[in-house]
Amino acid sequence: MPLHIAQKARYAGDDYWNWSAWIEGDEDELDQIDHVVYILHRTFPNSVRTVSDRTTKFRLKTGGWGAFTLIADVVSKKGTTTRLTHELVLEYPSGTPTTA
């Protein structure tokens, strides 16, 4: 399975979501990763974040109000970098009135 970004989001109310993203792939591939540099939308404080925790599949936890293209630079233990992208999906729960 090629490496890719997975995500989970939970609507917190008032047009805000708590979400997380992590790297999915074969266990052998994940074991070769040293760290992941996530690049969030420029409106985030600290929009470049590094995660080194293999036990969580390099999970990033944060929150926000809008969808964007999440970038992850996956840095291997050998020093090579692979760039992954993912369109963040934030959905309102069924029956939730929106302000759109």
Please name the residue that has the structure tokens 């999906």.
89
Question: Model confidence over 49-78: pLDDT tens digits?
Answer: 999 999 999 999 999 999 999 999 999 999
Residues linked to residue 87 through DSSP beta bridges, in sequence order: 69
pTM here is: 0.92
Token pair 């599949």 in the structure block, residue: 57
Residue type, 46: N
Residue 48 · residue 40 · CB < 8 Å: yes
Q: What is the pLDDT of residues 34-51, one digit of tens each?
A: 999 999 999 999 999 999
> Are 6 and 79 within 8 A, CB to CB?
no
Look at residue 100 and tell me whether its pLDDT is greater than 60. no
